[in-house]
Amino acid sequence: MARIELDLAHAYRANPQQDSDYALLPLKMAFEDGGAYALLGPSGCGKTTLLNIMSGLVTPSQGGVRFDGKDVTRFTPQQRNIAQVFQFPVIYDTMTVAENLAFPLRNRKMPAAQIKQRVGAIAEMLEMSGQLNQRASNLAADAKQKISLGRGLVRPDVSAVLFDEPLTVIDPHLKWQLRRKLKQIHHELKLTLIYVTHDQVEALTFADQVVVMTRGRAVQVGSAADLFERPSHTFVGHFIGSPGMNFLPGTMTSAGFHTVGATVAAPAGRSLRDGEFKLGVRPEYVSIAAAHAEGALPMAVSQVQDVGTHVIVSATREGHTLKARLSANTTDLRVGDSVWFKVMGEHTCFYQNEEIVQ
């Protein structure tokens, strides 16, 4: 296994001139040995490009890649000793499940007894022990993808295992099980795992550290709690959470934060210089307050959405909507009601140029 360091940028086109010419804007980051990481972001943000640069399928147009301090930028995936699992199964239909799992080990000339033991262990982790002697061609699509996952995980000596949306073909129920399984396998095998997905639930359940990407930029690397509590960029606030963070543009003065035609006092101990900011508050941290309560804004309820255990109450003021996630039994608000939403508190964040300042 290896610590992977990246200091690079990548454009698929020659002579890139502007940011939009780059699939990856200049970035510098490290993946620690034995960590479980996810690369998370919407379609086209550069996740696969980053993964393929780590595996050696793509050579970055600027900068390079280091494994344990060694420059591997020009190395092939084989020379880097990387295992990669793709969206669709890559297996040999004519072989049995056991032969498929053993293949990467045979290639590396592992002794037969060790191969048997390792294949047995991986099959057990993936709950495929009963299918070891079945021919792969007879299996359903998700069983085939499980073999692909197993082939990625079977070698104990890889620098890292890279997964590119590996659960796309898996049915939703099994998907949930496999996500948990992969996390467990990570704890047992202590491999460096890097997992590409556009699904936040998948990223947050699998990874200890999530790299959030948008338009060729890695905007934040953090744990699920970091991304939830202190999104360092407004994109992370929007993208993580359901619904995402609320934002209100406004001006900080000595009187407080002036937004949507009202002024709310900043909580004691919070000092921001005067200027224009975006206030960010998660729906989970918006609460109903008494009229004129400190830190609260008067608003008009525009939507009440029952989501089972909670209700999402949307309220509007001067064309801006805030969402609050409230316990179903604590509110009987209806559309058109007046409500005071408390937006200022210890979980409130402030942004300038989309980056967090406090």
Ligand X SMILES: Nc1ncnc2c1ncn2[C@@H]1O[C@H](COP(=O)(O)OP(=O)(O)OP(=O)(O)O)[C@@H](O)[C@H]1O
Residues that bind ligand X (CB under 6 A): 12, 23, 41, 43-49, 198
CA distance 17 to 212: 25
Minimal CA–CA distance to 73: which of 9, 16, 155?
A: 9
Q: How far is the CB of 165 from ligand X (least distance, A)?
A: 7
Q: How far is the CB of 201 from ligand X (least distance, A)?
A: 16
Nearer Cβ to ligand X (41/104): 41
Nearer Cβ to ligand X (48/148): 48
Give buried/exposed letters for 313-329 (b at 16+ CB in 10 A, else e): bbbebeebebbbbbeee
Q: How far is the CB of 12 from ligand X (least distance, A)?
A: 3
Q: How far is the CB of 88 from ligand X (least distance, A)?
A: 13
Q: How far is the CB of 164 from ligand X (least distance, A)?
A: 8
- Contacts for 232-240: CB closer than 8 Å, 24+ residues apart: 232/355, 232/356, 233/351, 233/354, 233/355, 233/356, 234/278, 234/280, 234/351, 234/354, 235/354, 236/212, 237/280, 237/282, 237/349, 239/40, 239/41, 239/42, 239/200, 239/212, 239/214, 240/200, 240/204, 240/212
CA atoms within 13 A on the CB side of 70: 10
Q: How far is the CB of 153 from ligand X (least distance, A)?
A: 22
Q: How far is the CB of 285 from ligand X (least distance, A)?
A: 30
Nearer Cβ to ligand X (121/211): 211
DSSP-assigned letters across all residues of 223-237: -HHHHHH--SBHHHH
Nearer Cβ to ligand X (23/123): 23
3-state class percentages of the chain: helix first, strand second, coil last, to nearest 5: 30, 35, 40
Give the residue carrying structure tokens 């009202």.
262
Nearer Cβ to ligand X (22/340): 22
- 263 alpha-carbon distance from chain centroid: 35
Cβ neighbours, 10 Å, residue 24: 27
Nearer Cβ to ligand X (47/310): 47
Nearer Cβ to ligand X (50/301): 50
Nearer Cβ to ligand X (209/246): 209
Minimal CA–CA distance to 151: which of 141, 162, 140?
A: 162
Nearer Cβ to ligand X (1/162): 162
Q: How far is the CB of 49 from ligand X (least distance, A)?
A: 3
Give the residue carrying structure tokens 């300038």.
352
Q: How far is the CB of 317 from ligand X (least distance, A)?
A: 36
Whether the CB-CB separation of 142 and 171 falls below 8 Å is answered with yes
Q: What token pair was written down for 339?
A: 């409500």
